[in-house]
Every structure is written in C-alpha cells, then in structure tokens.
Structure 1
Amino acid sequence: MYSGNICASMRFQPMPVNLPALPFSAKSASGAAPPPKQTANREREYLRSHEVEKLIQAARKVGRNGNRDAAIILLMFRHGLRTAELVALKWSQVDLRAGYIDIRRAKHGHDSIHPLRAPELRALRQLQRDYPDTQYVFVSERKAPLSTRSIRQIVARAGLLAGIPFPVHPHQLRHACGYYLASCGHDTRAIQDYLGHKNIHHTVRYTQLSPQRFENFWTD
C-alpha cells in the first residue's frame, strides 16, 4: 500500500488523455439522494396464533427431529425469543420441576423469568429424553448447539410446509408473541418486561394494532 507522501513525491508530467464523459461525477454522486429502502416481500412482519400452530404441526411431521423443531417454534412464540437467545438457551436456565425458565435477553435487553405451561413442559421433557446429557437445550444429532442459520432454515421450511403464503423467518415468532399478548389485553408495561424491551416504544407497536383498543367504540 502506498501512502500519500510517497505518491506526492513521484514527479512526472501527466500526458493529456481524452476520456469519455462519465454519466456522473464523484461530487454529484456524493450529494445524490440515497436509494429507496427495499420493502419486504412479506404481507406482514408477524404471524397470527393459528399460523404458529400450523408451523408447529408442520415441523413435527418432518424428519427425525420433528419434536425438537416443533419445540423450537413453540418456545420462540411463547417467550418471544430471538434466534440468538434460543440457540444460547441452556438446561441450567430451565426448571422443569418448578415450571420456570430464565430468559436472558440479547441486545442489552432486560432479563426475566417466565413461567412454563403444560405444552412447553411436555416439549422440553421430550427433548431431554431425545437428547440426553447435553448442556444446550436445542442441539443437533451430534449434540452440538444449533446455529442461528439452522433455526432460520427450520422455521422457513415449516412455513412452506404449513402453506403460509409468504416467506417465514424466526423473528416473526417474536412479533407474533407481542401481538398475541396485546390482543389479549395485557398491559403494555407487562409486555415490555416480558419481551425484555429496554425502550417501551418498541412495545407500543403491538398495542397500537390490538383490536382490543376499539372494542367499545360501537355498542350495538
């Protein structure tokens, strides 16, 4: 690599060269407006609860790891897990006897402890039987932690098999959790704590689209 001092010390007489006119100059390009943001090809950025159930059923019927893949989708939805949070989940965070799970949030979010209900408890106990003696909850057949890429593939495949009319990605399950809790009329602050949002503005998006806000507008 040559520095500016070296280039400046090279003394030569440049030969005149006739170059074709460029369609734009560096000066004009720097002041140009940025290209418009590409919109997603999905109809919406969240899934409805009945669509999540379809994903779970579809994932359970595929391959040798159907129970594991169904449990992935169930826990991501029920606890609003990001992909990074799911793959980092360890059995030391899960208390099957007391029915609690220690959620450790990524992106400097607020950690919390969530209750585990019967569907999750059954799924987690099945995982312990299928993949014994593992440190991480979700592992491959070789008992290695799943990658975030594997989770994206599992969820996308389930979306195709379930007949969801747009591409499905894991973060839609986190949004599905938020919208579901808001539609049930839960307090915005409680949803914020449940999802681990540092800023409540990230939570308000769910309550803004909740139909519960307008239930009493018409009384007939």
Structure 2
Amino acid sequence: MKKRKYLTQNEIDRLLEASRKGSFPKRDECFIQMCFIHGFRVSELCHLKFSDINLIDKVVHVNRLKSGLKTTHPLLASEIKLLKAWLEERVTWRGCESPWIFLSQKGGPLSRQQVYNMMKKFGSLASIAVSLNPHMLRHSCGYALANRGTDTRLIQDYLGHRNIQHTVLYTSSNHRRFAEVWQKEL
C-alpha cells in the first residue's frame, strides 16, 4: 500500500491549530497557511521576499523552482490578516532588516530542515496519523483544488507545472469529476 502524500482539509485545520501552540505561532501559522494555499515548495516559501508580496494589490508573486512557471496569486483575506500579524511581530526579530519574509531565530531565512522539524512537531501535536513533510502541503493544495472542481489546466498553471502529467494525479483520483457525465439522459 502506498503511503498518502497529502493532508485532508480536516488535517490542515488541525495542523494550523497546532501551530498556534508553538513557540512562534504567528510565523508558523502564516507559513503553513501560505504553503498550503499557494502550493509552495518549501524552498520557494523559505526564500519568499518582501518584493514578492504586495499587500495593497493583495497578491503574491510565486517564483517556482524546478523550471516551473512563475505566477501571481491573489492573497486571501485570511492570509493578509496572518501576514500582517506576523510582519508586525517580525520587526522585533533579529535580522528584521533582511529581505526574507519568514525568519529563523538567528535572523536568516527559515531552512528546509527547520520547516521539516516544524511539520513533524505540529503533526504530532495535531495527532495526524501520517508522517508529515512540507511537500505534503503542496500536494494537499493540488488535491483540494481538484476536489473543488477546479479545471486541470488551471491547477497546472496555479502550481507552476510545465508538464500536465504532474497535475493529473490530483484530478485522476477525484470521483466527483464524473458527477455530471450522465446528467442528461440519453
């Protein structure tokens, strides 16, 4: 049996709740929420800069790695609220003058390893049965979009996939895509 590579919406909610109980709740909740909503790879989000976010226009410029397509996504109202709370606290942190949105305690950008540790810790706190890693949030985004009935090509663009074969795994397991096949009787 293959192990599951994504989290359900209920598990995402529990993970976010657990992040609010950590040492850096504003940073961590904002990080996890943005990772899920935008399908960021961990390195993409760790290296997100102030120049990538425009709170006035309510957008984030997503610089995809792995030769992915760069995109601009709208920021949700809930994200803007979390971002503003984190940025207000961030000015008190060491390294606050750096361009990185998400800082480590030492003042540099969060590292991949720190995010892996964060996910394991919060996954355990949230009693999530699967072994968590940050990339699961990217997959969770893809599956959540497919479950909402989002077109495969739109998911492809949203996640920055150059090859649609990387996208169809999200839609192929969604049985609801066939819901209207027999809507009109013959």
Select which of 81, 85, 92 maps to 1:122.
81
Higher relative contact order (CA 8 A, sep 6+): 2
Structure 1 residue 211 displacement after superposition: 2.8
Name the structure 2 match of 1:162: 126
Name the structure 2 match of 1:50: 10
- Partners of 2:19 and 2:100 in 1: CA distance: 20
Pairs aligned (count): 178
Name the structure 1 match of 2:42: 83
Aligned partners of 1:156 and 1:168 also within 8 Å: yes
Select which of 43, 64, 70 maps to 1:105.
64
TM-score (norm. length: structure 1): 0.77
- Partners of 1:134 and 1:126 in 2: CA distance: 18
Aligned partners of 1:138 and 1:145 also within 8 Å: yes
TM-score (norm. length: structure 2): 0.91
- Partners of 2:11 and 2:41 in 1: CA distance: 18
Q: How does 1:7-86 map to 2 (within 5 A)?
A: 43-63=3-23, 65-86=24-45
Q: Which amino acid aligns with 1:86?
A: L
User: For each residue in 1:63-98, what CA deviation from the matched residue of structure 2 results, as whole angstroms up to 9, or x when unmatched?
Assistant: 2x1111111110110000001101110011000111
Name the structure 1 match of 2:172: 208
Unaligned runs of 5+ residues in structure 1 are 1-38
Structure 1 residue 218 displacement after superposition: 7.7
Name the structure 1 match of 2:94: none
Structure 1 residue 144 displacement after superposition: 1.3
Quick check: 1:194 aligned with 2:158? yes
User: For each residue in 1:37-64, what CA deviation from the matched residue of structure 2 results, as whole angstroms up to 9, or x when unmatched?
Assistant: xx86xx411111111111011011112x
SS in 2 for 1:113: strand
Select which of 34, 47, 52 maps to 1:93.
52
- Partners of 1:173 and 1:179 in 2: CA distance: 10
Name the structure 2 match of 1:174: 138
Unaligned runs of 5+ residues in structure 2 are 92-96
Q: CA RMSD in A?
A: 1.5
Quick check: 1:138 aligned with 2:102? yes
Q: Which amino acid aligns with 2:55?
A: L
Structure 1 residue 217 displacement after superposition: 6.4
Higher Cα Rg, which structure: 1
